[in-house]
Amino acid sequence: MNLVFKPHIMWPNYSKGLSNYLSLLICFVGGTFISLAQQEMNTADRSTLRNQIGLRHDNDFILLTDRYYTAGLFLTYRHRLEKGIFNSQSEQLSFSIGQEIITPSYLMTDDVQLLDRAYVGFSALRSGWSYVGRNHLIEAKLLLGIAGKASGAGRVQRWYHHYVMKTETPTWVGEMENSVHYNLYTKYLYEWQLAPNPFSIHIAAQSQFAFGTRDIYVHPELVAYLGKRNPLSSSIAHNQIGSTDSEVFFALRAGYRVVGHNGLLEGNALGDDSVLLIDSKNTVVYAGFDFQFRYGRNEYWVGVRHNSPEFEHARHHQYVILSYTRGF
């Protein structure tokens, strides 16, 4: 069933929450630069830096939208193995916990018929393994998560709108039913260096594959990195732990996803009794821009993501990524 959004309905007033959101953003940026100012010039070599913890926040509000994938919060721990599956020090493990908030275009109605897609929250645990060679990277991740009211995402967004944005709170009418999900994600990447530092150029081609109850897709992507960047095996571009050599670069990316199933639109692939399930488009185009900076043990990442409509009558969507990571 495809339900079309009604354009004459009034939108919530964002002006009250904008100053509060910008204040939070200033605190984030200010805090990271205070940490930067206090950061000692770390001379530890790669062999002593094996762990990393990071916090990432995704949000579309800074781009003055509040729909579809509207917010995400992720806490991640990574560890570089002394001796992995391939008997090398080029392997890492990762563990993360996160929550995602996905909403329809119009948030202030109790009528499901006015929604272009269902509300859905998703909370999950993720574990991953990666191996990096001189010019290539292999990665595999497992996800165990829950969609629906049990994810807690609806309560988080209502609290945020009420206390931070000072606007009307979304109704979360017609929210997807509770459902447990498990998924496998794999990635293979190959990279070429076309120009050396201090203004290097790297081109990476990667292919991602997902299979499970939440996602089934194939996603090829090209990425261009421009600036002062470390080799693949020690660069923050690929979440590699160990090096404290400074990096500062931009990245441009473009990808094309062939979708077999999108569980946050269509429900659990094994069956779902939710009242509003929407067929996903078979193909979605993705694009993005990143700025990444490493100083000693501190890593900073600001990114923008854009995707074409994911379902019939949907609109293009974009959101911002803010991330800080610390090695130890």
What is the distance between the alpha carbons of residues 1 and 178, in angstroms, rounded to a whole number?
Answer: 20
Q: What is the pLDDT of residue 165?
A: 85
Those residues with Cβ within 8 angstroms of residue 87's Cβ, 6 or more apart along the chain or in another chain: none
Least confident of 46-55, 63-72, 148-157, 176-185: 46-55
Strands 68-80 and 91-103: antiparallel
More confident residue, 61 or 8: 61
Contact indicator for 58, 302 with CB cutoff of 8 Å: no
What is the distance between the alpha carbons of residues 307 and 315, in angstroms, rounded to a whole number?
Answer: 9
Residue 61 has pLDDT above 70, yes or no: yes
Tokens of 219: 């996603």
Q: What is the pTM of this model?
A: 0.87
Phi then psi for residue 237, to 5 deg, are -60, -25
User: How do residues 216-227 score in pLDDT, each as one tens digit?
Assistant: 999 999 999 999
More confident residue, 39 or 300: 300
Q: What is the pLDDT of residue 86?
A: 82
**Residue 46 in domain:** no
User: How do residues 228-240 score in pLDDT, each as one tens digit?
Assistant: 999 999 999 999 9
**Residue 181 in domain:** yes
Check whether the bond before 198 is cis (ω within 30° of 0). Answer: yes
Q: What is the domain range of residue 203?
A: 17-40+51-327
**Residue 98 in domain:** yes
**Residue 155 in domain:** yes
Nearest in space to 269 (alpha carbons), one of 182, 141, 185: 182
Q: Report the CATH number at residue 72.
A: 2.40.128.140
Q: How many domains does the chain have?
A: 1
Residue 13 has pLDDT above 60, yes or no: no
Q: What is the pLDDT of residue 29?
A: 52
**Residue 1 in domain:** no
Contact indicator for 62, 25 with CB cutoff of 8 Å: yes
**Residue 11 in domain:** no
Q: Give one word for 212, left, alpha or beta, with left for phi > 0 and alpha for psi -120 to 50.
A: left
User: How do residues 286-297 score in pLDDT, each as one tens digit?
Assistant: 999 999 999 999
**Residue 218 in domain:** yes
Residue 284 has pLDDT above 90, yes or no: yes
**Residue 32 in domain:** yes
SS3 call for 235:
coil
